[in-house]
Structure 1
Amino acid sequence: MLKQTIEMESAATILKLLGDKTRLTMVKILEHNDCCVCEFVALFQMSQPAISQHLRKLKDVGLVKEARKGQWIIYSLNQNSEVYPFVKHLLEQIQNQNDKLYDLEKKGLRVSCT
């Protein structure tokens, strides 16, 4: 099987982005769940502009993609990204974050945009 490699500069950029706990948690959540900004605002207790900035950085490197659903923008992990195999290997080493989404659901905040 042919292993895909990425450039050192790209790997360093991805690792720097994922060195931020909020962005790393976002990516881990997006591994199996699509989310909108308001869900991340509630989850991280951060302002909408701060969450949007984190998502923009992840989107700029192609790791996250967005899709419009009515008035909402839904974010997901871009599994077609050239860096996805690299990131996927990292995500496999990190504890599941579904409990955070479950807590949002219990509070009635998980279904607010979909």
Structure 2
Amino acid sequence: MEKISIELGRAAMLLKLLGDKTRLTMVKILDGHDCCVCEFVEIFKVSQPSISQHLRKLRDVGLVKEDRRGQWIFYSINKNHEYYPFVQQLLDQLPDQAHRLEELEASGSRITCC
């Protein structure tokens, strides 16, 4: 396994950011699937402004990127971020979250904005 070197302060900042269960779950989902805000609203049953705030924090440090598709913005994890390998090691330890998107699809709520 490749050894990843990260400055201690930066590691603490990333761990604090990912210490929030909602953001950690979002990053785990985004590691395998692009999502829009409305999908996260359905998954977490919280307001759109709350989801947008979580995504803004992740985007501000560069872990998440945006892709505009028409009038909608889709989010994905930034696998080119210099500390993505560090984050990936954490994500690899977490249970898969694909079932959350499968539940949205089954209920007909996947990508309700599109």
Flag whether TM exceeds 0.5 (same fold).
yes
> What residue ranges of structure 1 are gaps of 5+ in the alignment?
none
RMSD in angstroms over aligned alpha carbons? 1.3
Q: 2:47 matched to which residue of 1?
A: 47
Q: Secondary structure at the match of 1:40?
A: helix
Q: Secondary structure at the match of 1:65?
A: strand
2:16 matches 1:16:
yes
Q: 2:72 matched to which residue of 1?
A: 72
TM-score normalised to structure 2 length: 0.95
- 1:101 and 1:84 map into 2 onto residues whose CA distance is 23
TM-score normalised to structure 1 length: 0.95
- 1:89 and 1:104 map into 2 onto residues whose CA distance is 27
Q: Secondary structure at the match of 1:74?
A: strand
Instruction: Give the Å deviation of 1:3.
Output: 3.4
- 2:88 and 2:32 map into 1 onto residues whose CA distance is 11
- 2:19 and 2:49 map into 1 onto residues whose CA distance is 20
Q: 2:105 matched to which residue of 1?
A: 105
Q: 1:90 matched to which residue of 2?
A: 90
Instruction: Give the Å deviation of 1:2.
Output: 6.3
- 2:2 and 2:18 map into 1 onto residues whose CA distance is 26
Count of aligned pairs: 114
CA contact (8 A) 2:36 2:111 kept: no
Residue identity (%) = 64
Instruction: Give the Å deviation of 1:63.
Output: 0.5
